Amino acid sequence: MKAGVYESAILINAALEDNQIENVINRVKEFITTNGGQIRDFENWGRKRLAYPVEKSKIGYYTIFRFDAPGSIISKLERFYNLDEHILRYLTIKLSKEALEQIEKNKSQSVSIKEDSIPEAEVNLQVEEDEEENEDNDKN
């Protein structure tokens, strides 16, 4: 099969300790790399409330992997997910060229938004502190 870029979202049981969740994530990373894949990107969304209970859990831990791999790895990866009792759900898709461009565009926008908003937040905080000091001085 032809190699492609894939995105795999997994839902891990949030009742696990943080180090157990980290172990699950590391096992997935290791599985991808030892089977001919190369991880491009990795996002930890953390614990989120689920829209409906999944295996009696109301909260899940979301993690997303983007990786280059041959197509033959996907069936092995999904079997690995099925056999891991800590992974509640998963979804693996092949990313199109347009999807990859959009992901890169979103990353660059979020970085510029974060850089622009930090100084403004600090300025607003400083203004509020100055106003509080002035109010205290007016009372005295």
Q: Is the same domain home to 31 and 60?
A: yes
Domain shared by 101 and 77, yes or no: no
Clarify whether residues 11 and 63 are in a common domain. yes
| CATH number, position 28 | 3.30.70.60
The model's pTM is 0.70
Q: What pLDDT, on the 0 to 100 scale, is given for residue 77? A: 93
Same domain, 91 and 101: no
Strand ranges, E, within the chain: 3-13, 38-54, 57-70, 87-94
> Phi and psi at residue 59, in whole multiples of 5°?
-130, 140
Q: Are residues 15 and 62 in the same domain?
A: yes
d(CA 75, CA 7): 14
Specify the pLDDT at position 138: 56
Domains held by the chain: number = 2
At 78, the amino acid letter reads E
pLDDT tens column, 23-67: 999 999 999 999 988 998 889 998 999 888 888 888 999 999 999
- Of 95, 116, 132, which residue constitutes the final position of a domain? 95
Same domain, 12 and 56: yes
Query: Tokens 């290791």 sit at which residue?
Result: 30
Q: Domain range spanning residue 138?
A: 97-140
Q: Based on the fold, state whether residues 19 and 45 are members of the same structural domain.
A: yes
